[in-house]
Amino acid sequence: MPDSSKRPPRLILASSSPYRRELLERLRIPFDVAVPAIDETPLVGESPETTALRLAQAKARAVAAALSAGERALVIGSDQVATYDGHQIGKPGTHEKALAQLQGMRGREVLFHSALCVFDSGSGDAQAVDVVTRVRFRDLPDAALDAYLRAETPYDCAGSAKAEGLGIALLDAIESDDPTALIGLPLIALTRMLLAAGYPLLEVR
């Protein structure tokens, strides 16, 4: 009979984002998905970094709180907030709001705060980090921005530009320590956290 004590802990991605799920699948490890029910509204006077970190941790803790008593899992929470000139930029939701976002960001440098939390429901330990990506947008005319939005409809992405798709044509430069952070889940930071939590990342297949 298999020794359950030697099994790696269950991994749970606390997110409704298909982009984060696709990124986590790159690691080729088993995981479940649970959608946390939390209010993602920024608090008054809260910095973008603080917002992203707070929400990433809140998502992970909310999913962990719903686990059965005694069940150990590593719960992954993540959140992304974009900002320029002190303005926080979230998911636009509509074409009109997305166009306004891109108009405001053209020719500017935008910071994307991609926060990550790994919460161990067994020990109560939480690891959290904010990975910052600097993105410089090209100064494109309204017609080009409108055409992009209609082609890719990135209305569920903070900043209205999908760098992994046609949105790369809107960007002049990207600076980051983690190339996956801008897409929504910093895998370099995540693998570091999983290894620190004792997860046998390169042994589980």
* String of DSSP letters for 80-105: EEEEETTEEE----SHHHHHHHHHHH
Catalytic site residue from 32, 79, 130, 178: 79
Other CB atoms within 10 Å distance of the CB of residue 110 = 22
Residue written as tokens 């926060």? 115
Token readout for 43 is 């608090």
- DSSP H helical segments within the chain, as ranges? 18-25, 48-65, 95-105, 142-152, 187-196
Strand 10-14 relative to strand 126-137, pairing: unpaired
Q: Reply yes or no on whether 32 is catalytic.
A: no
Please list the residues that pair with 82 across neighbouring strands.
89, 112
Largest CA distance in the chain: 65
**Close Cβ partners of 8 (under 8 Å, ≥ 6 residues apart):** 199, 200, 204
Active site residues: 79
